[in-house]
């Protein structure tokens, strides 16, 4: 190779060398701002999956990358405060989950890359221009999946055949629940099931919502958002007391006493989020990384709750379950 060609190639490589790598060379590891929508303990399996995948990709926490953790504990209002702190700290990338958290991050910065490990409809919420070409500084993993609400209705039908009225608890203050509610209503209508929408705004609204459903609903579907996730134990307690079989999209609800959960495997989503972060730290623009959708789902059945409700779980349903809680 001629000397001029070599120098040109070397100059191009230096220009393409990611800022994170240059920062490490200068003695400073890149920093990830990790904003958890829930508590540290409740998100531990997700966080562990994220950190383990980062390590496998060469980013070792405390050595080649620093991680600043903040926990919103299901309170969306905390997001703005924590994201503002990340901006002051000049983190290299922000990782979070849940539409309210991602919106807060997007409002706070248009330059720091943002990776969402899980959110509802990122296009409808205005987070990205499109799934294939996000544009801007935001990308990640969407929870949208084909006919997920329909599968939830089918599961309820299996365990309570012929039910005709469904209650849906929805936090109307969450940007993530609009599309969820529409899909659930459409799925129920397709089965000839009437729907009562029980709107909540805060934790104190949950008990009155169950009072409104008493004597009417025969089953319950709870839309997941930071509020309902943080209050899942209370919701499950009230559902059992009301005799309502309940289906959820997150396994954490089943772990906390819910009857059935079927939805994306969140540790897998966080592992994949680590791969997004790896690409960004190595120089890829977030707007050039297509938004991905779930590929791994899990069905969890809580037999203890079924017994408390006096329900017999069909053997065919148990055989399909990824996990049975006994």
User: pLDDT for 265-324, tens place per residue?
Assistant: 999 999 999 999 999 999 999 999 999 999 899 999 999 999 999 999 999 999 999 999
Same domain as 280, residue 226: no
Q: What is the CATH number of the domain that holds 216?
A: 3.40.50.2300
Same domain as 208, residue 112: no
Mean pLDDT of all residues in 253-259: 95
Token code pair at residue 104: 């807060």
Same domain as 31, residue 127: yes
- Which residues is 35 bridged to in the sheet? 70, 96
Percent of the chain residues past pLDDT 70, beyond the cut: 90
What's the pLDDT tens digit per position in 139-158?
999 987 657 889 999 999 99
If 0-12 CB within 10 Å is exposed, 13-18 middle and 19+ buried, where does residue 12 land?
exposed
- Residue 47 confidence (pLDDT): 97
Question: Is the sign of the CA dihedral 214, 216, 219, 221 positive or negative?
Answer: negative
Domain that holds residue 208: 148-264+298-325
Same domain as 152, residue 53: no
Spatial contact of 298 and 262, defined as CB atoms under 8 Å apart: yes
Question: Is the sign of the CA dihedral 154, 155, 156, 159 positive or negative?
Answer: positive
Same domain as 156, residue 133: no
Spatial contact of 34 and 96, defined as CB atoms under 8 Å apart: yes
Nearest to 140 by CA among 125, 128, 156, 155: 128
Whether 25 has a pLDDT exceeding 50, the answer reads: no
What's the pLDDT tens digit per position in 45-95?
999 999 999 999 999 999 999 999 999 987 778 899 999 999 999 999 999
Same domain as 154, residue 115: no
Same domain as 59, residue 126: yes
Spatial contact of 313 and 303, defined as CB atoms under 8 Å apart: yes
Same domain as 181, residue 102: no
Whether 208 has a pLDDT exceeding 50, the answer reads: yes
Q: Which residues are CB-neighbours of 166 under 8 A, at least 6 positions away?
A: 153, 156, 188, 193, 194, 195, 196, 217, 218, 219, 220, 221
Domain count of the chain? Answer: 2
Spatial contact of 269 and 117, defined as CB atoms under 8 Å apart: yes
Same domain as 139, residue 212: no
Reduce the secondary structure of 108-146 to three states and give it as a string. Answer: HCCCCCEEEEEECCCCCCCCCCCCCCCCCCEEEEECCCC
Spatial contact of 244 and 220, defined as CB atoms under 8 Å apart: yes
Same domain as 315, residue 177: yes
Look-up of token digits 């924590």: 82
Same domain as 317, residue 228: yes
Q: Which residues are CB-neighbours of 14 under 8 A, at least 6 positions away?
A: none
**Mean pLDDT for all residues in the chain:** 88
Cα(236)–Cα(269) distance, integer angstroms: 25
- Residue 317 confidence (pLDDT): 95
Q: 27: pLDDT confidence band, cut at 50, 70 and 90?
A: low
| 262, HSE (Cβ side, Cα atoms, 13 Å) | 20
- Residue 22 confidence (pLDDT): 46
- Residue 144 confidence (pLDDT): 74
Same domain as 318, residue 201: yes
């Amino acid at each position: 190779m001629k000397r001029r060609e070599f120098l040109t190639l070397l100059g191009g490589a230096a220009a393409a060398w990611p800022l994170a790598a240059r920062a490490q060379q200068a003695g400073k590891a890149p920093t990830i701002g990790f904003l958890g929508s829930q508590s540290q303990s409740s998100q531990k399996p997700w966080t562990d999956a994220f950190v383990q995948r980062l390590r496998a990709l060469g980013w070792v926490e405390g050595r080649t990358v620093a991680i600043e953790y903040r926990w919103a504990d299901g309170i969306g209002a905390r997001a703005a405060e924590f994201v503002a702190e990340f901006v002051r700290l000049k983190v290299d990338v922000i990782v979070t989950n849940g539409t309210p958290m991602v919106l807060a991050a997007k409002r706070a910065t248009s330059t720091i890359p943002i990776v969402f490990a899980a959110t509802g409809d990122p296009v409808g919420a205005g987070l990205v221009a499109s799934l294939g070409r996000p544009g801007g500084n935001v990308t990640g993993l969407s929870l949208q999946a084909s006919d997920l609400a329909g599968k939830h209705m089918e599961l309820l039908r299996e365990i309570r055949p012929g039910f005709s009225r469904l209650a849906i608890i929805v936090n109307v203050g969450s940007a993530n629940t609009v599309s969820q509610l529409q899909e659930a209503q459409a799925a129920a209508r397709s089965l000839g099931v009437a729907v009562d929408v029980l709107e909540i705004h805060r934790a104190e609204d949950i008990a009155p919502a169950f009072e409104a459903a008493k004597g009417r609903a025969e089953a319950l579907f709870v839309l997941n958002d930071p509020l309902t996730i943080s209050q899942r134990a209370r919701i499950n307690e009230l559902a059992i007391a009301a005799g309502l079989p309940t289906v959820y999209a997150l396994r954490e609800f089943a772990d906390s006493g819910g009857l059935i959960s079927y939805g994306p495997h969140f540790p897998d989503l966080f592992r994949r989020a680590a791969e997004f972060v790896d690409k960004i730290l190595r120089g890829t623009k977030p707007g050039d990384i297509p938004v991905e959708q779930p590929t791994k789902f899990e069905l969890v059945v809580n037999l203890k709750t079924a017994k408390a409700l006096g329900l017999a779980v069909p053997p065919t349903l148990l055989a399909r379950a990824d996990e049975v809680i006994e």
